Structure 1
Amino acid sequence: MAGHKTLDDLFKSGDLNGRRVLVRADLNVPTDEHGHVTDATRLNRIADTLKEIAAKGAKVIVLSHFGRPKGAPEPKFSLAPVAEALSGVVGAKVAFASDCIGAPAKEAVDALPAGGILVLENTRFHAGEEKNDPVFVKALAENGDVYVNDAFSCAHRAHASTEGLAHVLPAYAGRAMEAELDALETALGNPEHPVVAVVGGAKVSTKIALLLNLIHRVDTLIVGGGMANTFLAAQGKKIGKSLCEYDLLDKAREILAAAGKAGCEIVLPVDAVVAREFKAGAEARTVPVDAVPEDMMILDIGSDTMAYLAGRFETAKTVVWNGPLGAFEIPPFDQGTASAARLVGMLTKIGTLKSVAGGGDTVAALNDAGAADDFTYVSAAGGAFLEWMEGAVLPGVAALEVR
């Protein structure tokens, strides 16, 4: 991976036996009211990094935030239950320290055997974490000889544990970070053309920067979901009671014009599934987008649109996907997203294209469609994935660049 040192570089650098390796992971996982982890996806993704480093005889010391404490300890945001869940994922007992700095952390690190794994308490229990306070960075660094960042999902934040540590300790990308950066390079950094981007979701307002960046980097931009309604209205279409940001019609027209100048084709729905109410099993029908009844709302793409998208996917070499094409949470309005996702997944499996997806509701939509496992890469990074697609510099990634 050009520009960043990886675990391979770390392992070549010398004997790790007994060395203290601080690993920034993202343990901010969903839990129930009893503190039990309900989705271990993020834990599974960091397992390889933790086990590989531990197998080299290093002391593996895990740093993470959890929830949104206000710079002071809050019992409900303790990482103790997550450390217990991580034990099951890595197949070994994971120790826990009641603080991430000071005596509790030092004592736990000193007591950790070579090859052991330790989770330190929530970094956000200290105000210095989000402030990237050099004093707090130094306190964290006192428990490590090496720093590994395996939390791409937090890389858009310049916090002490995500960015600061990379400047004071030898810094490397973990396996999950490496895979993410490789996938993003495949998707937009140096992709094989034609590149098709799918951007869906409810509002144009949350994705203006994304759209303006993509029109200069992809060959075809498919706009779906509620945000497509704003573009349709900007073209003078009557969209009934559909979700629409009428204050952004000029911005939508500006994006359409900019895409034309950039040579990027923007694809909008030509037909839509409409209903009078948004609920499961609601009576729905498919109409052309210029014939939406006044008392109905657009909730999904229609079959003619799907056929048109299929043609774009079948000639693409790269597909990058962010957001659903319709109101996928409720059937029958999930069909457009599901059909498109399954087709991209199938084309990926047979090797005609590479597909990278992530951000917001994307993972849930692809999982619902049963297509996530067929994509080349599905990012669980959320905001960081979206900011990268917008062309933003991610502090946590930039700090890992070889200097």
Structure 2
Amino acid sequence: MHDEEIVNLPASIDMKKENLFKLLRFSVFFYSLILPHTVNKNSSLQIYLSTAIWYLSIGSILIPILYKKLTYNSKALHKKAFSKMSISNKLSVRDVDVSGKRVLMRVDFNVPLDSKANITNNARIVAALPTINLVLKNGASGVVLMSHLGRPNGSPTEKYSLKPVAAELEKLLARKVLFLEDCVGPATEAACSDLKNGQVVLLENLRFHSEEEGSSKGSDGVKVKASPQSVQAFRESLSKLGDVYVNDAFGTAHRAHSSMVGVDLEIKAAGLLMEKELLYFSQALENPQHPYVAILGGAKVSDKILLINSLLDKVDCIIITGGMAFTFLKVIDNMQIGGSLFDKEGANIVEDLIKKAKSKNVEFILPVDFVIADSFSASAKNEIVTAKQGIPEGWLGLDIGPQSIKDAANAISKAKLVVWNGPCGVFEFDNFAKGTKGVMDALIAATKESHTTSIIGGGDTATAAAKWETEHEFSHVSTGGGASLELLEGKTLPGVAALSSKL
């Protein structure tokens, strides 16, 4: 139930109660006039009746006041309870005294490796450094780092070992990192039992155990569920490795994995990276600035139904772009889309989404022109067509056109808050990257010149920002594609829900 629904719930009841109170006051007034002329002249009876009428009169005034006071307090309690579930109300590592304590930290070291186990991009390791350095600076006796890498399907696999990460982390921290060959068990527990002088420990890949994800896959591809007993034992062993739990792995926050939700420690705080994610997404979800614009791309409408539905309750304008624009235009205007993407499943919901947008007074901006190609390749022949002209058979739309870029830029220039999830075209091909780059440039300009809060929702959009090295030009670029999508859809993220709330 939304906060507004909770607050407005008693409104109809209030009206009924008010009518009853008015009737009560009228009745008291009426009988105060009539009764003295109809009762026996017995003076004691007259006194009793007069006293009763006086109490009823006072009651008819006080009861509505008391009722409103109680209703107000009830609403306030509802609001308070709702705010405690807020993602902006989670305990931060900044708020925790870690002096002399072991900090068990969930990080995201799922970095790309080449065939020789060399790290090709260390950005995720670098992103964890501020939180690691903060707890060390604040006097932690040691830091035990745990992460997953790849998909080893619940069994030890050499190519997914975190050992190369330990070596890279040593360089970045300029201090010794102890690498342990398992993440649980007596030997690991013993090694982490008495950490001193800010010792840093990196555990082996959590996903070498099926109990991390709750299941594993055999060589035949069949999923085998881990027993509840073994999952519990795994979680208990992890819980022995620290005194304070810190989660800095937002990219995995939508997974109810053991290291995300199963550590049984009293204090469970968000790391600096997680804190930043929650700070910006709370701005988009809980108390957004207006005008609020959402830019939504990607291939399928069906993949974004929950997202669009959720955002329609919050935004002032939605810019539909990318492959799913063809499904919208085909349904709404019967546009000829040639060989472009068409989502049959998503087509069934398009009209409902448009109706909801109109009922909520949300502006819906669709592309008016496209860059089309005669094949799906970087070197394909390309042309610009309008939506009214349509796309001929044998051709497909791979990007939005110049007028569509201008329309999007115009909406962005007026916004105080912009959330972007999904590119405008096949930005990996230079001939079809102008739409994504043009919208990106408009958002960068709004961020700099108008102080617009700009949030890039991870995934392909973050990849596009990395391509043009513009990540630092926005207010925030999310590190979690799936996690940010689910958060914007209005879902509760298990890894966030498991964190302690501020008092």
Same fold by TM-score greater than 0.5: yes
Instruction: Name the aligned partner's letter for residue 41 of structure 1.
Output: A
Return the offset for 1:2.
4.2
> In structure 2, how many angstroms separate the alpha carbons of the residues matched to 1:152 and 1:345?
24
> In structure 2, how many angstroms separate the alpha carbons of the residues matched to 1:47 and 1:351?
31
> In structure 2, how many angstroms separate the alpha carbons of the residues matched to 1:128 and 1:279?
43
> In structure 2, how many angstroms separate the alpha carbons of the residues matched to 1:357 and 1:141?
34
Query: Does the alignment pair 1:78 with 2:161?
Result: yes
Query: Does the alignment pair 1:186 with 2:283?
Result: yes
Query: Does the alignment pair 1:358 with 2:461?
Result: no
Answer whether contact 2:154 2:211 (CA < 8 A) is retained: yes
Question: Secondary structure in 1 aligned to 2:150?
Answer: coil
Query: Does the alignment pair 1:219 with 2:305?
Result: no
Please name the residue that 1:146 is paired with: 244
Answer whether contact 2:302 2:345 (CA < 8 A) is retained: no
Please name the residue that 1:272 is paired with: 370
Return the offset for 1:295.
2.7
From 11, 21, 24, the equivalent of 2:106 is 24
Answer whether contact 1:239 1:290 (CA < 8 A) is retained: no
> In structure 2, how many angstroms separate the alpha carbons of the residues matched to 1:248 and 1:3?
35
Please name the residue that 1:256 is paired with: 354
Alpha-carbon distance change, 171 to 247 in structure 1, aligned in 2, over 3 angstroms:
closer
Answer whether contact 2:455 2:474 (CA < 8 A) is retained: yes
| Residues 237-270 of structure 1: CA deviation (Å, up to 9, x unaligned) | 1111111113432222222222222222221101
Query: Does the alignment pair 1:205 with 2:291?
Result: no
- Following superposition of structure 1 onto structure 2, how do residues 132-171 of structure 1 map, counting pairs within 5 Å? 133-165=231-263, 167-171=264-268
Query: Does the alignment pair 1:285 with 2:383?
Result: yes
Return the offset for 1:313.
0.6
Alpha-carbon distance change, 247 to 52 in structure 1, aligned in 2, over 3 angstroms:
closer
Please name the residue that 2:171 is paired with: 88
Instruction: Name the aligned partner's letter for residue 272 of structure 1.
Output: F
From 194, 213, 234, the equivalent of 1:130 is 213
> In structure 1, how many angstroms separate the alpha carbons of the residues matched to 2:110 and 2:307?
25
Please name the residue that 2:125 is paired with: 43
> In structure 2, how many angstroms separate the alpha carbons of the residues matched to 1:367 and 1:150?
21
> In structure 1, how many angstroms separate the alpha carbons of the residues matched to 2:113 and 2:194?
29
> In structure 2, how many angstroms separate the alpha carbons of the residues matched to 1:169 and 1:129?
20
Answer whether contact 2:113 2:120 (CA < 8 A) is retained: yes
| Residues 151-174 of structure 1: CA deviation (Å, up to 9, x unaligned) | 111111111111111x43311111
Further displaced range: 88-97 or 321-330: 88-97
Query: Does the alignment pair 1:322 with 2:457?
Result: no
| Residues 113-152 of structure 1: CA deviation (Å, up to 9, x unaligned) | 3212110111122222223833221111111111001111
Rg (Cα) greater in structure? 2
> In structure 2, how many angstroms separate the alpha carbons of the residues matched to 1:218 and 1:368?
28
TM-score normalised to structure 1 length:
0.94
Instruction: Name the aligned partner's letter for residue 193 of structure 1.
Output: H
Please name the residue that 1:398 is paired with: 497
Please name the residue that 2:468 is paired with: 369
Unaligned runs of 5+ in 2: 1-86, 215-227
| Residues 354-375 of structure 1: CA deviation (Å, up to 9, x unaligned) | 1001232111112223432211
Please name the residue that 1:312 is paired with: 411
> In structure 2, how many angstroms separate the alpha carbons of the residues matched to 1:349 and 1:94?
40
> In structure 2, how many angstroms separate the alpha carbons of the residues matched to 1:67 and 1:230?
34
> In structure 1, how many angstroms separate the alpha carbons of the residues matched to 2:433 and 2:349?
28
Higher relative contact order (CA 8 A, sep 6+): 1
Question: Secondary structure in 1 aligned to 2:432?
Answer: coil
Query: Does the alignment pair 1:5 with 2:88?
Result: no
| Residues 15-63 of structure 1: CA deviation (Å, up to 9, x unaligned) | 612x211000011111111111111121111100011112233200001
Alpha-carbon distance change, 87 to 218 in structure 1, aligned in 2, over 3 angstroms:
same
Q: How many residues align?
A: 398
Please name the residue that 2:341 is paired with: 243
Question: Secondary structure in 2 aligned to 1:305?
Answer: helix
From 197, 216, 229, the equivalent of 2:326 is 229
Please name the residue that 2:136 is paired with: 54
Question: Secondary structure in 1 aligned to 2:89?
Answer: coil
Instruction: Name the aligned partner's letter for residue 37 of structure 1.
Output: I
Answer whether contact 2:128 2:273 (CA < 8 A) is retained: yes
> In structure 2, how many angstroms separate the alpha carbons of the residues matched to 1:138 and 1:247?
44
> In structure 2, how many angstroms separate the alpha carbons of the residues matched to 1:386 and 1:241?
28
Answer whether contact 2:457 2:481 (CA < 8 A) is retained: yes
> In structure 1, how many angstroms separate the alpha carbons of the residues matched to 2:134 and 2:346?
50
CA RMSD in angstroms, aligned pairs only:
1.7
Question: Secondary structure in 2 aligned to 1:321?
Answer: strand
Answer whether contact 1:220 1:265 (CA < 8 A) is retained: yes
- Following superposition of structure 1 onto structure 2, how do residues 293-308 of structure 1 map, counting pairs within 5 Å? 293-308=392-407
> In structure 2, how many angstroms separate the alpha carbons of the residues matched to 1:57 and 1:232?
59
- Following superposition of structure 1 onto structure 2, how do residues 333-348 of structure 1 map, counting pairs within 5 Å? 333-348=432-447
Answer whether contact 1:239 1:297 (CA < 8 A) is retained: yes
> In structure 1, how many angstroms separate the alpha carbons of the residues matched to 2:414 and 2:179?
51
Instruction: Name the aligned partner's letter for residue 278 of structure 1.
Output: F
Please name the residue that 2:74 is paired with: none
> In structure 1, how many angstroms separate the alpha carbons of the residues matched to 2:346 and 2:193?
58
Further displaced range: 195-204 or 290-299: 290-299
Instruction: Name the aligned partner's letter for residue 256 of structure 2.
Output: A
Please name the residue that 2:23 is paired with: none
> In structure 2, how many angstroms separate the alpha carbons of the residues matched to 1:185 and 1:113?
37
Answer whether contact 1:96 1:108 (CA < 8 A) is retained: no
Instruction: Name the aligned partner's letter for residue 22 of structure 1.
Output: L
TM-score normalised to structure 2 length:
0.76
> In structure 2, how many angstroms separate the alpha carbons of the residues matched to 1:141 and 1:111?
15
Structure that is richer in helix per residue: 2
Runs (4+) of structure 1 exceeding 4 A deviation are none
Further displaced range: 335-344 or 63-72: 63-72
Unaligned runs of 5+ in 1: none
| Residues 267-301 of structure 1: CA deviation (Å, up to 9, x unaligned) | 11011111211222322221111212223211111
- Aligned identity (percent) is 41
Alpha-carbon distance change, 127 to 169 in structure 1, aligned in 2, over 3 angstroms:
farther
Alpha-carbon distance change, 2 to 306 in structure 1, aligned in 2, over 3 angstroms:
closer
> In structure 2, how many angstroms separate the alpha carbons of the residues matched to 1:350 and 1:265?
24
Instruction: Name the aligned partner's letter for residue 202 of structure 1.
Output: A
